Amino acid sequence: MEVVKVAISFRTACGDAQHNEGHNFVCETLNATGINPGPHCTSYQQKQDQKLSEDKQRKSTTKFKIRRRQLHLNRFQSTVRNENREGLSYEHNIGLTLSRRFVHKTTKTTKFCRKWTRTLVKLNYRNTNV
């Protein structure tokens, strides 16, 4: 169990470093330990840092924020429309609630199917013994 806790804390520390320092923390860590990070590691780190900065810049524009809000409202309106048409589908503590009439019909059908299955089994048993 201790190994799992160590692994989780290590992952958390790496995630924090990546968020705070950028992807460059891997190359810096390798350099600090005396390992050459290599060209692939450094190029990957630069691409990821560039992508992150472009995403931050794009997401900070008002055009992006307006579009994100519009998409959210469209999803919300679609959900409301579908719930009005079909009833609630996804909600906390939602369960299968059936009317008594439906339950009664289902029980009758189930009893009939059980009797019919027993009869078929008996007939099949008799035919195999002949």
- pLDDT tens digits for range 56-113: 999 999 999 999 999 999 999 988 888 788 776 666 666 665 555 544 444 455 555 5
The Cα 81–Cα 86 span in angstroms is 9
**pTM of this prediction?**
0.50
For the chain, the structural domain boundaries read 1-62, 98-130
- Give the mean pLDDT of the chain: 76
Residue 9, both tokens: 């804390």
Residue 117 confidence (pLDDT) above 50:
yes
Please tell me the distance from the alpha carbon of residue 41 to that of residue 25, in angstroms, as a whole number. 11
The confidence score (pLDDT) of residue 74 equals 93
**DSSP secondary structure of 47-98:** HHHHHHHHHHHHHTSHHHHHHHHHHHHHHHHHHHHHHHHH---S-TT-----
Q: Is pLDDT above 70 for 20?
A: yes
